[in-house]
């Protein structure tokens, strides 16, 4: 069983990061014919669609917020099968620059 982790990435770029990571991890499997490029692309699209619903629709995260996605998968019978019970998402919300600058000014002045 393999594990995919996007590392920390902004919400606006998670889809590309997940797709590139999955293709990199399955490069040898594609080469030896265990799975096709089309199947890897399909699996990445499936996971990205699920993540969009969770991150944007359910959590209301903005493009500048940061997430890290981890999920296990396996390649069997020429298909990438996600182990959705292992899906883990860490989310970090971006604070407005004004709020951060104000906190810095207040602490430095004290």
- Using one digit for the tens of pLDDT, what is the confidence trace for 74-110? 999 999 999 999 999 999 999 999 999 999 999 998 6
pTM: predicted TM-score of the whole model, two decimal places: 0.88
Q: Could you tell me the residue range of the domain that residue 94 belongs to?
A: 2-109
Number of domains the chain is built from: 1
We report the CATH number of the domain holding residue 101 as: 3.30.470.50
Query: DSSP string spanning 28-89?
Result: HHHHTTSS-HHHHHHHHHHHHHHHHIIIIIIS---TTSEEEEEEEEEEETTEEEEEEEEEEE
Helices 14-25 and 37-52 cross at an angle (nearest 10°) of 150
pLDDT at 14: 97
Query: Residue 80, exposed/middle/buried by CB under 10 A (0-12, 13-18, 19+)?
Result: buried
- Using one digit for the tens of pLDDT, what is the confidence trace for 33-72? 999 999 999 999 999 999 999 999 999 999 999 999 999 9
pLDDT at 1: 86
- Per the DSSP assignment, residues forming a β-bridge with 68 are 90
């Amino acid at each position: 069983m393999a594990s995919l982790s996007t590392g920390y990435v902004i919400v606006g770029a998670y889809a590309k990061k997940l797709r590139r990571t999955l293709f990199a991890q399955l490069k040898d499997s594609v080469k030896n014919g265990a799975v096709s490029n089309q199947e890897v692309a399909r699996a990445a699209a499936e996971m990205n669609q699920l993540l969009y619903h969770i991150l944007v629709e359910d959590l209301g995260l903005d493009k500048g917020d940061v997430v890290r996605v981890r999920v296990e998968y396996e390649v069997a019978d020429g298909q990438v099968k996600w182990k959705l019970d292992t899906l883990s998402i860490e989310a970090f919300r971006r604070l407005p620059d004004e709020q951060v600058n104000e906190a810095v000014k207040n602490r430095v002045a004290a």
